[in-house]
Amino acid sequence: MYDVNRVREDFPILARQIYGRPLVYLDNGATTQKPRQVVEAMVDEYYNVNANVHRGVHFLSQQATDLHEASRETVRHFINARSTAEILFTRGTTESINLLAFSFGEAMVKAGDEVVVSAMEHHSNIVPWQMMCERKGAQLRVIPMTDDGELQLEALDDLLTERTRIVCCTQVSNVLGTVNLVKEVVRIAHERGIPVLVDGAQSVPHMSVDVQDMDCDFFAFSGHKVYGPTGVGVLYGKEAWLDKLPPYQGGGEMIKNVSFEKTTYNELPYKFEAGTPDYVATHALAKALDYVSGLGMQAIEAHEQELTRYALEKLQGIEGMRIFGAAKQRDAVISFQVGNIHHLDMGTLLDRLGIAVRTGHHCAEPLMRRLGIEGTVRTSFGLYNTKAEVDALVDGIERVRRMF
């Protein structure tokens, strides 16, 4: 049985008081809290192992390198990639997508070409593609969405042309919680030989991910959203694709030989990893993945699904409640507005009760425009949240509503 109270003991921050009240942390979509196992691994590495990786013959450097490369294997196993050559360490989802947009754009995109994104992307899966399109004279096209917040995949086939170079789609919406049928997106795109990037920032913390089963060509996620440290993330790419793409940044580590006349590049994955990596963070990310694997992704998913069902039911009972998104498959994210209470007022007043939620456009302005709103209040659950915390949220909203 999943013992949430036992799990909470691993997260010291959850014992904090905010304005004299117990912290109710419901902003996991933005970032998750860290278990002792992750923080202690970082402290231990800095205290006892620290040395730059890949370059040293000395003991500590080799030990740090071993930890760093073992972490790559942990990530490979976690998302079921074929090979560690396909696992690139980055600073996070945003850098992963910028890397891909730049390299892919350089190698594959010409004037008049098209890039397809969905209507519910985070800015980090829009803007890098837009920047690349501007550089290359290409066009951005958009997969439309129903009022319930589901992608209209029947429109995708018509959207794809012989000029389409790549399709970019989030697996889970950070605003609506919609779980997109990314396998279907991949199937439709592959029928025309078009590769697909899946943004896994909001899926990896909540469900088991298998990139081979999904058959996506690229997959990006952030460490800090899956109970790991900030400043580290992953770009997965099929080896056949990564082999075809040029490096993103130049510097140490990514080269084979350098002369002033010509530089040759290192093999995968190092070709895409210029400079000293955050090897302490990669090791700690592996500890975070071990941590969630230890609890079991299916157990986490079941716990969070139960919590989401409970919260949806409770929230719907509040007068004036408007919940955005009603997808058949949804994840542990709920965006809402109550009457005409501004989302910022709601967020600020909930904060005074110790309840941390996010407010605003959630870095998805085109989606806000599609919904005809400026922003929402958003609660997003993690593996340590409880029904009592949902009750505290509902009570808090009721108090704010009565004040207005």
Which residue lies nearer to ligand 7TS by CB, 92 or 269?
92
Beta bridge partners of 220: 199, 235
Smallest gap from Cβ 49 to ligand 7TS, in A, equals: 26
Which residue lies nearer to ligand 7TS by CB, 125 or 386?
125
Q: DSSP per residue over 216-229, as a string? A: -SEEEEESGGGTS-
Which residue lies nearer to ligand 7TS by CB, 85 or 209?
209
Cβ neighbours of residue 298 closer than 8 Å, sequence gap 6 or more = 208
Q: Are strands 263-265 and 255-258 parallel, antiparallel or unpaired?
A: antiparallel
Tell me, yes or no, if 363 is annotated catalytic. yes
Which residue lies nearer to ligand 7TS by CB, 136 or 378?
378
Catalytic site residue from 133, 168, 216, 363 = 363
CA 57 remoteness from chain centre: 36
Cα–Cα nearest to 400, from 364, 336, 351, 350: 350
CA 168 remoteness from chain centre: 14
CA gap 198, 170 in Å, rounded = 5
Q: Which residues bind ligand 7TS (CB under 6 A)?
A: 29-30, 92-94, 122, 124-125, 170, 174, 199, 201-202, 222, 358, 362-363
Encoding tokens for residue 70?
């073992």
CA gap 52, 78 in Å, rounded = 25
Smallest gap from Cβ 23 to ligand 7TS, in A, equals: 18
Smallest gap from Cβ 343 to ligand 7TS, in A, equals: 14
Encoding tokens for residue 288?
């975070």
Residues annotated as catalytic (active site), given as ranges:
363
